[in-house]
Amino acid sequence: MRIWMRRAGAGLSLAGALAAGVPPAWGQPMGLPSMGAASAAELSPAVERTLGQAIMEQGRQDPTYIGDLDVGQYLTALGRRLAAHAPQALAQDITVFAVRDPAINAFALPGGYIGVNSGLVVGAQSESELAGVLAHEIGHVMQRHIARGIAQQSQGTGIMVASLIGALLAALAGQGDLAMGVATFGQAAAIDRQLGFSRGAEQEADRAGLQMMRQAGFDPRGMLAMFRRLMNASRLNEGTGGGYASTHPLSIQRLSDIENRIEGLPPAAATPDPEFWFVRARLALIQARDHADRQRLRQTLRGEARDLQGARQAAALYGLAALDRAEGDLAGARAQLAQAQSIQPAPQLDVLAIQLAGAQGPAAAVDVSAAAWKRWPRSQGVADARARALQKAGQDAAAADLLQAAARQWPDTPEFQKLLATSLQRLGREVEAHEAMASYFEQTGALPTAVEHLQQARTLSKDFYAQSRLDMRIRALRERLDNQRALLEPFKK
């Protein structure tokens, strides 16, 4: 099948848009409306979401994008837990993803997407510190600062919006090619930086973030602690550019405002999620790219495993076990893993156990994954590891059953559809395999490619009822494409 695993043939060429005569900076109006006010010069929520999905479609191809399911599940759950306590309703659902970059930074895209550098999580000394940065970003989303900043460019030229809209309209017509201009999250972070939020906008995001943190059960002092650390780091590295302090300037006035608002609050009885430490360790492992990085990480983890207790100690042992496995020391990895499991259970530990069992043979991995899935039925990472173990053992029927259940449980996680398509194809269920791939591309925003897969399935099917169902899906996707074009056309110049 020629289009089986082809990359989506349509996408927003953000790289091209940024290079096509775009002003060097986007000016955020100093007179940004106060909390809750609407502005006529802003993208509608539907257009904003369409832009965000298009950027994410390409961003998932970026080599720095971290597709680890447990990492994404944890970060998005944390973001949505905070957003549930926003002072006013959000126009977009929050989705948080990670990118491999040691710089301490975070950035917001249109449509409620928030990117978090691995360095921000690794540098956080508590879950409340991470929550503080996320809450601030959600404050920008709540205020629609991103959408309004894009629409209200300096001198009102709208060149960037026109470039983005033009590229997306070409993609919706099937004229784009991801391979010709994949958007990088470095460029996406540049969008956030170029918006240049006003001091008032930053303070509004701080205040909304503090309220979210407190009501969601986090210690608001975490925001203050993280911002102080970032401000000090910015001073020490003055002139090097980049970093959160450059994208969201941290002034003495902002820190004083946060201090004053926290001062009268009663002590927070925060109950941190132990998984934070395992996600932090996982991102530290992903971030370590060469031998020198891994050796420095090993030294740090050894110190934490020796000096700390509880979940932090277990997470350090998990990191050491993963490093041992990567270097081929399976006995050492198993010993470190067993010690970690005796201290604090975590889905990341069971995923590593499945991987280590795979070295003994596919059957062993299947057995270990069965027990892990029973322990962690809500872990996307464990579901993924079990499905892969079943596939390697040639048990594609069982894998397909598991992946169909996972796709129902997590309908917004496209990776399960892609794995499902592999098992269905091996089982000779070609029509269903194409349907699964269509769902994958639909969920990742590549609607023209999703339509192609459904058409392939329609051609292969001999069942009248299946053909009718496929016709309905094709018609619905084409209507979505038409609606997206209608939403975007008024912004084209």
Catalytic residues: 137
Among residues 364, 372, 425, the alpha carbon closest in space to that of 400 is found at 425
Q: Which two tokens stand for residue 387?
A: 């499905």
φ/ψ of 311, rounded to 5, equals -60, -35
- Output the CA torsion 67→383→330→71 (10° steps): 30
Between CA 335 and CA 225 the distance in angstroms is: 36
Cα separation of 183 and 195, whole Å?
18
Cα angle: 138, vertex 161, 198; to 5 degrees? 45
Listed in sequence order, the residues at least 6 apart from 481 whose beta carbon sits closer than 8 Å to its beta carbon are 172, 447, 448, 451
97 three-state secondary structure: strand
Using CA atoms, how far residue 411 sits from 405, 415, 417, 420, in Å, is 10, 10, 9, 13
Return the H-helix or E-strand segment holding 98: strand 95-99
Q: What is the arrangement of strands in the sheet containing 65-66, beginning at the earlier edge strand? A: 65-66, 95-99, 113-117, 106-108
Q: Is 273 left (phi over 0), alpha (psi -120 to 50) or beta?
A: beta
